[in-house]
Amino acid sequence: MEGSGCGLFVSTWIRDALFALVLVSVAWAIRSSLPSDLWKRSQPLTLRATVDVVVEDRWILPHTVDDRPLAKPPLINWLSAPLVEAFGFSPWSHRVVPALAAWLTCLFTLQLARMFHTNDAVVLSAALLWVGTWLGFKSLLLVRPDPLLVLAGTSGLWAVVARLRGVRWSSGVLAGAIGLGLLAKGLAVLPLIGLAGAAPRMARIPRADWPSPPWWIIGVAAVPYLVWVLATEVIRPGFPAEVLFGEEIIGRMSGTGIEAAGRSPWQVVLGIWKLPVHFVLRTLPLSVFALLAIRKMGRNDLAVLLVWFVVLHLVVFGFSASRRADWMMPAVPAMAVLAACRWCCHWRAPLGTSLAICAFVLSVVGWNEARFGKRWIRPLESFAQQARSRILDRPAPVLMVGNDRNHLMGLLGLSGVDHHEPTSKAVLEEWLDGEVPPGEGFWVVAGDRLAFGTQPPQMPSAGMDSWNLLEGPVDWIFSVEAGDVEYMWPGALRLGWAQRRQ
């Protein structure tokens, strides 16, 4: 790469950027045609935190469900907040940042493949194999910090290889990648940091050819993250120790945290084997190609760094009690490059075959999403759009009751407590005293969960036998019915208008 001209170097970046744009746009179109998955994988938490940044202007510690602070660094919320504020609280506005991260990830995947192979067909196959896996496709539009972490891992891996090859500005990219990963998901960027420090030894490069140690790069990259941690301590004393370190790290490894689901440390250790098995199954057929590619590697092949990157992810996240395969998303682009440049390159038509594999996998994933997608998603998002329009026409406080921990409140542009469980008369009085002056009106968004206001004037909670604080009954303007109550769906939703007594 160093020996090529500057014009060719820039040209490959431009061509790869265009190909990545087309590929990610096609994936966006396919995903948008399928049932929405904004209710899954803790996406409502991220969405609600972004809304909290916009509505409450809480940038350091945005709040989520039940008005609790977000347990992850809020970079995804910082980047999404201006877009959501400009374009509204619609599902697609929250997906813009993940889509941009996916585009850049695809670009760096292509450029990483060019480090190991010069054939354009093989290079483009790497991107197709990445998108054409369950984990790769899921990472494109996930409203979570994961797309940013995938971008950090892929760009950082490119920078590590580029530093070994003497590319000048690779150190700056590595610092940016580590900083991005830290602000996206904290210490989940450890595999990249470990690879950056040990890459020359892993690749068996003579010590005389080692680049300068990356410790100053890591130190510079960690500054923004450490500043944020200190800011959280100022705003909420004890938060870094109790949540960022205690809950998110020690709690996951010891079995005491929420994510541990009651597992003991011994169970965590004995269950390490589950993550690689889960990972291999979720990345078929790419995982099989990658295993075959390892046999084709030369003795001093730099592609061994791709293998180590995947292994480091398995080791780091293997000791976590919550062994979800989506934690392995940052390793998928590296595995795609390994498979394309060391195995698929021997195929007669690598590009055409990879395209066919990608199309087949996306068809299977699309069929699965269309068949098993929740039927209540479209009614919920349609209700949110209509209700938001009515509320904007007549601004007033909004009381939400009887909903579940889905993304409805975020799509309504609301922040605060969602009363999804039965509440009391005292809670209503407290909310009215704080939000609604006597004689003024307010909106009620009510679901069919057993909570106050779902079926007026029937109140399931003790002491809630009448609307004695209101001037007349609630005027229910419209409702959306969608069958029985199930996980994350309240069964039906209503928008109503009520007025507090003088």
Per-residue model confidence (pLDDT) at position 253? 64
Q: Kindly tell me if the per-residue pLDDT of 300 is higher than 90.
A: no
Q: Any residues with CB less than 8 A from the CB of 89 and at least 6 apart, and which? A: 51, 384, 388, 410, 411, 412, 413
Q: Could you tell me the pLDDT band of residue 458, with boundaries at 50, 70 and 90? A: very low
The answer, yes or no, to whether residue 254 has pLDDT greater than 50, is yes
| pLDDT for residue 71 | 86
pLDDT above 50: residue 467: no
Lowest mean pLDDT among 47-51, 284-288, 313-317: 313-317
For range 121-139, the mean pLDDT: 92
Decide which of 173 and 425 is more confident: 173
Q: What is the pLDDT of residues 434-445, one digit of tens each?
A: 888 888 889 988
Crossing angle between the packed helical segments 43-56 and 75-87, to the nearest 10 degrees: 70
In this prediction, residue 350 carries a pLDDT of 93
For residue 270, what pLDDT is reported? 58
- Coil, helix or strand at residue 2: coil
Three-state helix/strand/coil letters over 393-461:
HCCCCEEEECCCCCCHHHHCCCCCCCECCCCCHHHHHHHHHHHCCCCCEEEEEEECCCCCCCECCECCC
Q: Contact at 8 Å (CB) between 13 and 111?
A: yes
pLDDT band at 128 (very low <50, low <70, confident <90, very high): very high
Lowest mean pLDDT among 40-49, 54-63, 423-432: 423-432
Calculate the alpha carbon distances from 183 to 221, 252, 326 in Å: 10, 20, 18
| 355-388 pLDDT tens trace | 999 999 999 988 988 888 888 888 899 999 999 9
The whole-chain average pLDDT of the chain stands at: 84
**How is residue 496 annotated by DSSP?**
E
pLDDT band at 464 (very low <50, low <70, confident <90, very high): very low
For residue 213, the 8-state DSSP code is P
Between CA 35 and CA 140 the distance in angstroms is 15
Mean pLDDT of 330-346: 94
Q: Record the tokens describing residue 185, joined without a space.
A: 């998901």
Q: Letter for the amino acid at 80?
A: S
Q: Is the pLDDT of residue 462 over 50?
A: no
Token digits of residue 176:
């940016």
Of residues 159 and 280, the one with the higher pLDDT is 159
- The pLDDT score that the predictor gives to residue 470 is 60
pLDDT at 281 over 60: yes
**Phi and psi angles of residue 288, each rounded to the nearest 5 degrees, phi first:** -65, -45
Residue with tokens 């036998």: 465
- Of 357, 296, 315, which is closest to residue 130 (Cα–Cα)? 357
pLDDT of residue 454: 40
Query: What confidence score (pLDDT) does residue 9 get?
Result: 60
Span of 93-97, 234-238, 484-488 with lowest mean pLDDT? 484-488
Helix and strand counts by DSSP (H, E) for the chain: 21, 4
φ, ψ of residue 334 to 5 degrees: the values are -60, -40
Say if CB 75 and CB 184 are below 8 A apart: yes
Nearest to 155 by CA among 205, 122, 117, 189: 189
- The percentage of residues in the chain with a pLDDT greater than 70, rounded to a whole number, is 85
